[in-house]
Amino acid sequence: MPSLTEHQSSKYTKLLLLGNSGSGKTGSLASLVKDGYKLRILDFDNGLDSLAAAVRRSSPDKVGQVSFVTLRDKRKASPAGAVLDGPPRAFVRALQLLDNWKDGSDNFGVPSQWGPECVLVIDSLTFMADAAWDFREPLVPRGSGGKYDVRAVYKDSQDAIAATLGLITNSAFETNVIVIAHIQYITLQDGTMKGFPTAIGQALGPVIPRYFNTVALCETTPAGKRTLRTIPTALIDLKNPKPFEMQPSFDIEDGMGKFFKILRS
């Protein structure tokens, strides 16, 4: 029977990183690069500009430690609005990379075997959920006139996202994981309002944090300072395995590196 000293939490961090747009979520990863981690990013947002600028400023000799694959389904204008231009491929491509990461000259093998010096990043869960919807929507059975039950698309898409989160947070997935998500505010049955990760609909958001032992928040203070927050707010529940050692918040520029050092010590 294994003891707690052998528990995988001492080797790997599985982090859900929440924040509103512009709060510094993606840029906060630069301190991990400075500390020697290799980042491999599933880029659904097509928004790595802030990370690229931060790494070039703080660790220009380590730019090569960051690899990414941008995953966005093509769209085109039509009389009905913007529609998919060709079959949706972004979500399926992400699953292929999670199984075996090959992209051009990059061949990093099986992500679940990368080990403790690598970090798989999903940026962001919000747009990955959109990609899951685009993938599942054409597969739903249709009746006469092409009509279908939209609830079936919601369920299939939510199940696909939940299965993916179950995969990457499983103890057998032996590498660090950071999943970045925007926040949606939901009014609960008791009338209180809470912030949860933005996904497909409202049912999945409250379930997502259950997959993670660590949930942190990027926020901007009233004074305009960006911070990495580790303690809960009135609206958003946060958690980490070492609350007695963790500071309430860190500066965004080096906070993620300090956060990982405490979790991994």
What is the CATH number for 207?
A: 3.40.50.300
Ramachandran angles phi, psi of 216, nearest 5°:
-130, 170
Which residues are bridge partners to 214 per DSSP?
15
d(CA 84, CA 73): 7
Q: How many domains does the chain have?
A: 1
Tokens describing residue 132: 């899951």
What mean pLDDT is predicted for residues 176-182?
A: 98
Contact 106, 97 (CB under 8 A): no
184 by Cβ neighbours in 10 Å (0-12 / 13-18 / 19+) ranks as: middle
Write out pLDDT tens, residues 153-166.
Answer: 999 999 999 999 99
Give the predicted TM-score (pTM) of the model: 0.94
Residue 265, preceding peptide bond in cis (omega within 30° of 0):
no
Domain carrying residue 120? 4-264
Q: What is the pLDDT of residues 17-59, one digit of tens each?
A: 999 999 999 999 999 999 999 999 999 999 899 999 999 999 9
Structure confidence at residue 147 as a pLDDT band (50, 70, 90)? confident
Q: For residue 58, count other CB atoms closer than 10 A to its CB.
A: 15
pLDDT in tens, 210-241: 999 999 999 998 899 999 999 999 999 999 99
Mean pLDDT of the chain: 93
In order, the DSSP letters of the chain are ---GGG-GGGT--EEEEEE-TTSSTTGGGHHHHHTTPEEEEEESS---HHHHHHHHHH-GGGGGGEEEEE----EEEETTEEEESSS--HHHHHHHHHHSEEETTEEEE-GGGSEEEEEEEEE-HHHHHHHHHHHHGGGS---GGG---HHHHHHHHHHHHHHHHHHHTSTTS-EEEEEEE-EEEEE-TTS-EEEEE-BSBTTSTTTGGGG-SEEEEEEE-TTS-EEEE-S--SS---B-S-TTTS-SEEETTTHHHHHHHHHH-
User: What pLDDT sits at residue 85?
Assistant: 86
Rounded percentage of the chain residues whose pLDDT exceeds 70: 96
Structure tokens at 3: 């003891």
